Chain A
Amino acid sequence: MSEQLFNSMKQSVIDGEPELAKELASKALAQGIDPLEALNQGFIPGVNYVGEQFSCGEMYLPELVGAGEVMKAAIAILEPEMTKRGTARKILGKVVIGTVEGDIHDIGKTLVATMLSASGFDVYDMGVDVPITKFVEKAREVGADIVGLSALLTTTMVKQRTIIKALEEGGLRPKVKVLVGGAPVTRSWASEIGAEGYSEDAVGAVGVAKRLMGIQS
């Protein structure tokens, strides 16, 4: 019985159906299935399948992001019950992410946020044009492990340096690692400003974030 439900959960991730996933998650709770078990045996095998298919070139980014959205939807249903039972899913780390002040470019940052959250990070997406102090405040508030800073313009990229300084002044470094990205950002810029992580794309960013957390990917 629950075997069939788990298979449907897996399939909902593969097909990118968040509404269906929410229904299945609610159904599992109604049947008294342990939410952690539903996650680990239903939804996560779906994400793993999509990840494998993506790695070998059979599935593409929209399917990967779709799977991430399904996971988010399923977790939103399952998490309160997990908390109630005193269980918790495995969190790889807490990430505060946003596009820096003066910059409204959204998509790269959002992709990274979705991929990180689908991979098991707890992600706080601050949106775009985020004031420097907000990054520091949020990182302190949630006890962030990683702060992700996105910038698309050469003129806003310099804010990444300012935010790293502000994190230092706020006494959050080096506990909080910094991940930077955006079209004009290069590896040499990242090392110059003291950012521990840099990636050119969202899939790469997950690997870098895991490395920053000391996790073998």
Chain B
Amino acid sequence: MAGKIKSITNPRLKLDILSKEDVERIHTATLEVIEKTGVRFPSTKALDIWESHGATVDRKTSIVKVPGHIIEEALVLAPPVYTLAARDPSQDLPLDGNHVFVGTDGCGVEVIDLFTNERRRSSLKDVADIARVADFLEEVAFHWVPISAQDFPPQSRSLHEVRAIWENSTKHVQTESIYTEREAEAAIEMAELIAGGKEALRKRPVLSIMQCSASPLGHDGGSLDAALAGAKAGIPVGFMTMAACLTTGPATMAGNLVVGNAEVISGTALIELAYPGAPVFYAAAQTASDLRTGAYTGGGPEDFLFGAATNILSDYYHIPLSMGSFATGAKQPNWQAGIENSMSTFMASVVMSDMLLGVGLLHGSRIWSYAQMLMDCEIFSMIHKVMQGIVVDDETLALGAIQATGPGGNFLTQKHTLKHMRDLWVPQFMDRRPYSIWEEKGDNAEDWARGKAQQILKSHYPEPLDPKLSRELGMIINRIERM
């Protein structure tokens, strides 16, 4: 039984973060970088495509320099609106600029075990379990591969991962763990079985592919070939930049946006040149590196600003955005995790980023925590409420109820109260108990969130994949493993 999906829609809040002129300047600077400095595309296929469309290609360095008009003409071919399909059609996700959907984060390497509370290496069973919990949660609209199935060989691991998610959830799967053409083609074949054929998959892409760029100003060859394979099959593909101020990008935020934008729009233009009209998305998780260690931070005011700025850029290009939010750098669900995940998600939501990635990981997307996953969902639920803003009309001004109550009364038993009380937000994990109860019980949000995840895992079994279909998926994986 498919649950409904909670998304932010018809927002009443707005944020002006970049002016029209700012965006134009970033765009112009980006084109200058792509044309003069160039971007590395270490894939023969990609270089051939660029060359045939008039770019300057250096086969030795794989650096491509593209005149701005070629990039611009390619980008207008991208469809501005399309739908991510789910195994259960009632859970399809329209990427139409008026919805904010949340996915699970990825791709971690360790899991805080839900039952022993010990940290350990991630395995395929974790992928399956997390998918099942995510399937239950209305805040989670789609999946990334949350953690790496390290008990399976690298050359087929990504396929076991998507299969496990399809077997344990009816929601859309976006994989970020495929880095080769061979795996991409196999995953597409699997998706075709689920959708019911090649044409059916084009119409209802139950799979989308996200690839990371290699900042600054580069792409990974395997990733490019995998993305091209996805676009050929008509499933949505996107390039994510993680250019970070200080290390893989300039120290200034505008400069870092330029570097990231150059990676993303050059990759996206490549896809459109190869397969005009292919559904694509912009993806970004930009940050500032830590000044002391150079390490990825997973949070901080720069992240929050990037979170809001990037959707302005992707809107400028009329393509949907998959934006990094949540994904705290904190080691455990704590103060830092709460602040980072709330701020990043609010800032990315207030500008209506289409997809937010994602819930559940700690320590800069390395350690999976079910407690964090559920608390992240609560953060989204709160932001969902905030984004509805304050409605002012005759009904909400409540003059009748105010008149009936008068000075000194209370509103508890007013019909108007009963009618509207459920509009108020109710927490699951905020501690609003009396102090004495808290003192006596000594438990907290993390305990409750973990308890709820345990209960979901014990009781929620989504509509299973047809066992025959599941076997066929397995046969595709076997074939890849024998190659």
Contacts and interface: CB of A to CB of B under 8 A. Distances in A.
A154 B392 CA distance: 52
B154 A158 contact: yes
B154 A184 contact: no
B248 interface: yes
Given A183-B296, A184-B148, A104 B246 contact: no
- Does more than half of chain A's interface fall in helix, strand or loop, or is it mixed? helix
Contacts of B291: 60-62
Interface in A182-196: 183-184, 186, 188-189
B427 interface: no
- Does more than half of chain B's interface fall in helix, strand or loop, or is it mixed? loop
Contact of B247 (A107, A158, A183, A200): A107
A183 B154 contact: no
Interface string A101-118: 010110100010000000
Contacts of B289: 61
Contact of B154 (A57, A155, A200): A155
A201 interface: yes
6 contacts: A104-B214, A154-B157, A155-B154, A156-B154, A200-B293, A203-B293
A102 B293 CA distance: 26
B293 A186 contact: no
A153 B294 CA distance: 18
B246 A61 contact: yes
A71 interface: no
A202 interface: yes
A201 B292 CA distance: 10
Contact of A57 (B42, B177, B292): B292
Contacts of B292: 54, 57, 60-61, 203
Given A155-B157, A184-B366, A188-B121, A200 B214 contact: no
Contacts of A202: 293-294
A201 B42 contact: no
A60 B292 CA distance: 5
A200 B295 contact: yes
B369 to A, nearest CB: 15
Interface in A70-128: 102, 104-105, 107, 111
A98 to B, nearest CB: 16
Interface residues of B, number: 32
Contacts of A60: 291-292
Interface size class, chain A: 20 to 34
B293 A184 contact: no
Nearest to B246: A62
Given A186-B109, A200-B295, A107 B220 contact: no
Nearest to A201: B293
Given A61-B246, A200-B295, A201-B293, A154 B109 contact: yes
A191 to B, nearest CB: 12
Contact of A183 (B157, B179, B293, B366): B366
A54 B150 CA distance: 37
Q: Which 9 pairs of residues, A with B, have the shortest CB-CB distance? A: A155-B154, A154-B148, A201-B293, A60-B291, A184-B109, A61-B294, A201-B295, A158-B154, A107-B247
A86 to B, nearest CB: 39
B267 to A, nearest CB: 15
B174 to A, nearest CB: 17
Given A104-B218, A155-B157, A111 B109 contact: no
Interface string B242-265: 000011100100000000000000
Contacts of B248: 107
B50 to A, nearest CB: 18
A111 B244 CA distance: 15
Point out which of B155, B247, B366 has the most chain A C-beta atoms below 10 A from its C-beta.
B247
A189 B251 CA distance: 33
Contact of A105 (B109, B157, B158, B214): B214
A105 B212 CA distance: 11
Contacts of A153: 179
B294 A111 contact: yes
Interface in B38-86: 42
B110 interface: yes
Contact of B110 (A54, A61, A107, A186): A186
Contacts of A186: 109-110, 121
A155 B214 CA distance: 16
Interface string B190-221: 00000000000000000000000010001011
A104 to B, nearest CB: 6
A144 B177 CA distance: 34
Contacts of A200: 293, 295
A186 B366 CA distance: 10
Contacts of A57: 292
Contacts of B150: 154
A122 B107 CA distance: 35
Interface in A167-216: 183-184, 186, 188-189, 200-204
Contact of B294 (A154, A155, A201): A201
Contacts of A201: 293-295
